[in-house]
Structure 1
């Protein structure tokens, strides 16, 4: 009895691993090996112009240049980290809220043309980001459609905005309304340096140029998040809503105390992929601003590219990428503790 059973188990084992082998081999070659190679490169001084075997071992020097040593590399890294953090703080909450709102609307049975609206909202997500970036570059021009629309609303009583050429931070612009500028700010704001930047620079907020990219990203990604929320909304049992109606709950109360708690696992997933996506933003920055003006749109992902290809410092670029990986991993763990993965 045992021999035929073991033979059958062995056949199942062989068949299972045979089916898994092609996918496992592809993942090993195109995912695991490049990651290990990049990790190896992060400890070496390699320009990318000669064979990797001719690179030299530098240990943790690349990481020290980015995190510890007082030099231009550390300054650029923390400028990029600041910009990316402002970018994530602006994009993730707004795209999540907008996606949930759109999903709630297109999920209503009384809405006519639901298929049309679902397709329309999702379409920007599957369109080439480079093509959309080029279109928005035209829209953001000084005499572009967005400025013309603002002028029409304000009846011409407004100066055109240099959307992609303005390095002014939004918080700095807000403070200037109260008379607080670089010249009038207290000395501890303008002279105290932390990691290569003054406190005044740290609290600048996203620049006007970065804000323009943020608005573009919110518009293009909300459609994908909307589909995820819509699938989760359709998975909520109808009996839960009927019980809320029987208890006399209003629509707002039902949404707050029934829908949102039931969507907690989906919210965690949407915020997680949104956080990962925003900390890896590259293509819009590359096409629209190339990190400018004055490095106010320089992001960590774009810094990886610039270090590796523009500055011929592949080791520094690889080290930047792994620091970014650790940062995203830690933020995801914190977010998991705050939001939770289980429905309330």
Structure 2
């Protein structure tokens, strides 16, 4: 009987020691991850310098193109209307948005040192999410501006006055700040163990979820809720606005008026399709369905392609902007 009791105690002690060692190993693995490694495009090592050149060229185009839009709308008083007021804010937002991710990516491609600290990763993600949400809201505001201008042209100066425009822009900039700070805190409160390699070129939510230990269901649900609020709802509002706009345009008696209205709206719709399309596909997929290669390609659309084509779309398809640009050029 005594032998059996001793045997039971030994087994219980061994089980306790095993559990304690596992907990210590888990704690040590969580605390040792103080930095991540952004793998980026390491799977294509022979194209590193080529990609560096492409992304550097894209970054210069984004800075110059959006900077020119800001400059010409400030110089020409004829362009100081609500539509161009929103466009200036959108261009400034694009400059800030790309500066969160591209410079770090260029440094990684140049030095091949891809480490990023935990705090730097959290900061990058937080600003990226805030500015991305701001872009969604601002695109919805721009759609509302076009809706009022085309569907209620007589009331347009009254509805879209200076105070209302300022309030809409301010609301777009500050609404997402507390939500995305909270979401970033929640994500980085997760325990990260095992690999510290992020299979992406910046700190984004889907690749970080893959490194998290334990159950991330609650975190994924909170991400989906935020995506619905800041991505899906603005997108549906934009679609609804343009449904009304198209209906109004088709009833215009003059073919010239219809062509001008379509030209103005098509520029904005092109940007919306590129940005929202890639964003919705990326963030609405469950964790198990994410593919690292596909996620990287999709994220290039909303981090580089859309900001690069924004100034091209809004200048080449806008006669007023092109006329002002010709005046400035010698």
TM-score by length of 1: 0.27
- Larger helix proportion of the pair: 2
TM-score by length of 2: 0.28
